[in-house]
Amino acid sequence: GAVALGERDVGPFDVIVEDFAYQDGPLGAPFWYALRHLAAPGSTLLVNTLYDRREEMDQLAADVRYAGWSDVDQRVDRGLQTQPGQSRAPTLSEWQPNDNMIFSAINRMPTPHVSLFLTHSALKASRKCI
């Protein structure tokens, strides 16, 4: 399941893996944009999913790009579900409904910085630690 994280909880990450193979419906560009706030510049996003229709894959790629991720790549990975003589990693044009899809993208643009406001006593305490 998904875990909700506040802005101050974590990050930035060098790699973010999102597995939503059984997600009910698309997550949309706002979700992928929000993930960029957890990603370091130059970091990688990996998405594992299954789709019944090609249009769903195209929409995911468009949403990820619209959210500011670049170098979006799509790969078919049949893994252990291959039949004898069948490739585990066929080309994208050989995609079939319910093939496992791996999307990757890079966070090439810096995300907005989260500002930290310290009280005078917190600032004094932090200086003692330095």
Half-sphere exposure of 99 (CA within 13 A, CB side): 26
Q: Where are the beta strands (DSSP E) in 23-119?
A: 39-50, 70-76, 100-106
What pLDDT digit, counting tens, does each position of 107-119 carry?
A: 987 655 433 333 3
Instruction: Find the Cα–Cα–Cα–Cα dihedral 94, 95, 96, 100, rounded to 10°.
Output: 140
User: In this predicted structure, what is the pLDDT of residue 116?
Assistant: 35
Q: CA nearest 106: which of 27, 47, 20?
A: 47
User: Cα(59)–Cα(23) distance, rounded to whole angstroms?
Assistant: 15
What are the domain boundaries of the chain? Answer: 13-129
What pLDDT digit, counting tens, does each position of 49-90 carry?
A: 888 888 888 899 999 999 999 999 998 887 766 677 766 667
Rg of the chain on CA atoms, in Å: 19
The model's pTM: 0.68
How many CB atoms are located within 10 Å of the residue 129 CB?
5
User: In this predicted structure, what is the pLDDT of residue 45?
Assistant: 95
What pLDDT digit, counting tens, does each position of 31-54 carry?
A: 999 989 899 999 999 998 888 888
- Whether the pLDDT of residue 104 is over 90: the answer is yes
- Whether the pLDDT of residue 25 is over 80: the answer is no
Percent of the chain past pLDDT 70, that is, above it, reads 66
User: In this predicted structure, what is the pLDDT of residue 109?
Assistant: 75
Average pLDDT of the segment spanning 76-105:
77
